[in-house]
Amino acid sequence: MPDLSYEIQSGRNLGRIICGVDEVGRGPLAGPVIAAAAIIPPKGLPESLSSQINDSKKLSDKQRERLFPILTQHCLYAVAEASVTEIDAINILHASLLAMTRAVRLLTTCPEHALIDGNKLPKDLPCPATTIVKGDGKSLSIAVASIIAKVTRDRLMKELALTHPAYGWERNAGYGTAVHLAALQEYGITSWHRESFAPVAAAKRLNK
């Protein structure tokens, strides 16, 4: 389970402001990539809450939705995205890093150190940073950011599904499930699809 060990190593117990950063949405065929930055308050989180926090991928949709309003109430956070256009222009990795930078910069309090999920350091961060592979399962701040980012993106994809119901985004969040791929073949692509991703590019050629 994630804890505050990395935050403490970065100076949290000395009063330094540490944020955790994570993104969600690298793999889907549709929708933006979304990142969140989160700062756990100096007093910490209630033990009953901390014990429920984990990598968002290890939590159910109901668990994430239940935790979201509590975490956003207790923590300082910011959410940012990189658009489908940006994903197609600069590739999904660089778009993910761009969304992370934007999230950190949107925090109303500038952190003194950022803990970044993964092994790539985003450019133009306003503070020093450390990358942590599988950080959402190790750092409590990153785990909080992962939940906030995941719930935010899932909600967005459910909204987009209302106007594009054939693709099943309310259930697959834009990932290439059988339903989504079949709809691409039958109906073609939308403005929310990532044309740089092979199944989308193939569907575009097929439906010309």
Task: Answer whether residue 40 shows pLDDT above 90.
Answer: yes
Q: How confident is the model at residue 177 (pLDDT cuts 50, 70, 90)?
A: very high
The DSSP secondary structure of 92-152, one letter per residue, reads HHHHHHHHHHHHHHH-SS--SEEEEESS-PPSS-SS-EEEETTGGGTBHHHHHHHHHHHHH
Beta-bridge partners for 80: 35
Q: List, for residues 78-111, the tens digit of each pLDDT value.
A: 999 999 999 999 999 999 999 999 999 999 999 9
| Residue entry with tokens 């990358």 | 131
Kindly state the tokens that stand for 165: 């119901």
Report the pLDDT value the prediction gives residue 187, as an integer from 0 to 100.
Answer: 95
pLDDT in tens, 112-149: 999 999 999 999 999 999 999 999 999 999 999 999 99
The predicted pLDDT at position 46 comes to 86
| CATH number corresponding to 5-154 | 3.30.420.10
Cβ atoms within 10 Å, residue 28: 25
- What CA–CA distances, in Å, run from 42 to 93, 116, 136? 32, 19, 20
Average pLDDT of the segment spanning 47-72? 90
Whole-prediction pTM value? 0.96
Using the predicted structure, report yes or no on whether residue 208 has a pLDDT greater than 80: no
Average pLDDT in the chain: 96
For the cut 80, the answer to whether the pLDDT of residue 13 exceeds it is yes
